Amino acid sequence: MIPALLRAYGPAVSTGVLLALAFPRFSLFWLAWAALVPLLANTWRTSVTAAAGRFCLAGLVFHLILLHWLVTNVYWAGGAALLGYVLLSLVMALYWAAAGAAWGWLQPRLPVGVAVFVAFPALWAVMEKLQATLFTGFGWSAAAYSQGPNLAVLQWAALGGGTLIAFGIAAANAGLAAAWAAREARRKVWLTAGSIGLIVAAHVVGYMWLDEARYGEEPFQAAMVQPNFSQQMKWDAQFYEAMVEITADASRALAADTSPDLFVWPEALIMPPFILRDEEEELRISFEPGIGRILQEFAEDIGAPVFTGAQRRDPATGHWYNSSHLLDAEGYPKAVYDKVHLTPFGEYVPLGDYLPFVDQIVPAIGELHPGEELKVMEASGRTFGPLICFEVLFAPMAEKLRNDGADFLVVITNLGWFGASAALEQELDIARLRAVETRLPLVHVGNTGITGVFDPYGRFHLAQQYFRAGPVETGQGLPRIEEAVPFEAPTPGATQDRRIGGVLPVAEAGERVLDYGPPLFPYVAGILLLLTAVWALVRGSRPSPDPSELPRGGAWRSLGE
């Protein structure tokens, strides 16, 4: 009984574990090129329902491991967070189940080469696109995000986005699985050679596209502060002014020996809501008096624009927004951006108006209102596109900012909800892919986590200074910052739970391999899947081999004739 269960479901569990290990924090990215092999070999010539079930199991194991950091929400939302974590993992696994069912139907109706090198990778690419799009989208587990340290392969995103990388990974896996299951030596050889050749070509060609970033004679300098304020402080009104004051002190310390072109502070640094008014086509922002004074004094001292995250309330409608705003070198508002793509169950409850019991099961941290449009902002001669936290998941948003004229991206986050979990590294590699896809440098600033700058080719430059407190205290008894001190050997892991910062150059925008390739390729994959499905329908099913003729191991070993 147990051996039979292991033969039937062990490969699916193995695939889920191996693929999860390819992602941060383990970052064994090379495993992604073979992680699907046990599952695919185990589902070769099985029934549609068996393939769907085993794919679902693999997807569930994978997402339970990958998204383990969601369990930390138990601290904020109680046991409902654990239920939400399991349900989300199950929903994502259902996409895998659908892909497995389709794969089970396509396999016996297509030539082997077409099935493994066209149909399955197209199917996988379409599945990931649907994960990133349907029901507000949650594409956190896309295969391309596992390749963050693999800069050579990552360059393919400049041709066809993360979807093209997923296509290649899926094709290599399917080819290796078919070779494993093949009965004929000649077929084993050409399938193995084709898969290995694909992997080698992906790395060689990608390496050829990996260029040096251009900075110009006088590079644009971004000053970043990761203030490392706990969530408890953020929701405690007595610390509202102190958080802004300490961040301003840190910025002054960074500017002591440099002249930054832009200061970037993280998401939701300013907690009391500001009021936005448009008077005679000029923006007016009303802060709480103490915070307004701190910002004005900082602007007068430094003379450089500041971009940061804040809460906003519209007095006319009563709506609350997760916003960001740019203050010019004199401290006056230049632009405001309201977060367009809110985080489900974090910033709003999906279907909350129609299913009021949902917010009792999984309460949102706050019921916010989405912004209306993306915006680009200008600072010191450069144009940037802002994204707030969860929005970095969505490639079309970064693409639109690029098309609207942004020559670099700014991502501000607050991942303090998830402690020092793997969520921080995973989100960073998602941002890395956005930089490569758009060939735009990306400034990444978190309240906690990992802060620094990506160049257009995905190289990351870490903020390399920490802050030393002096004897002066804020009105709340917190020590104010006196100076910025360089790390001797900075690493991302060492900065996750520290107050850090840095002044780093922001590269110029790069040239994409194919300008319209990244947004177009998901549709190319969809067309390929449709064509192979039509071919399979016309061709019909070939007779499966008699079970008695299969070698020991059954579906594990049979490729079919």
Rounded distance, CA 497 to CA 420, Å?
Answer: 7
Contact between residue 491 and residue 266 where contact means Cβ atoms under 8 Å apart: no
Rounded distance, CA 408 to CA 398, Å?
Answer: 10
Contact between residue 505 and residue 261 where contact means Cβ atoms under 8 Å apart: no
Is 56 one of the catalytic residues?
A: no
Establish whether the linkage from the previous residue to 557 is cis, with ω within 30° of 0.
no
Tokens in use for 414? 């607050």
Among the listed residues 267, 347, 399, 427, the single catalytic one is 267
What SS3 class is residue 269?
coil
Among the listed residues 389, 391, 399, 427, the single catalytic one is 389
Q: Is the dihedral of CA 421, 224, 456, 164 positive or negative?
A: positive
Is 234 one of the catalytic residues?
A: no
Rounded distance, CA 451 to CA 246, Å?
Answer: 17
Which of 507-542 are b and which e, b meaning 16 or more Cβ less than 10 Å from the residue's Cβ? bbbbebbeeebbbebbebbbebbeebbebbeeeeee
Rounded distance, CA 373 to CA 409, Å?
Answer: 16
Contact between residue 262 and residue 531 where contact means Cβ atoms under 8 Å apart: no
458 Cα distance to chain centroid: 13
Among the listed residues 129, 241, 339, 375, the single catalytic one is 339
Contact between residue 428 and residue 460 where contact means Cβ atoms under 8 Å apart: yes
Is 473 one of the catalytic residues?
A: no
In Å, what is the CA distance from 323 to each residue of 84, 372, 434?
26, 12, 21
In Å, what is the CA distance from 161 to each residue of 213, 329, 511, 514?
19, 37, 14, 10
Write out the catalytic residue numbers: 267, 339, 389
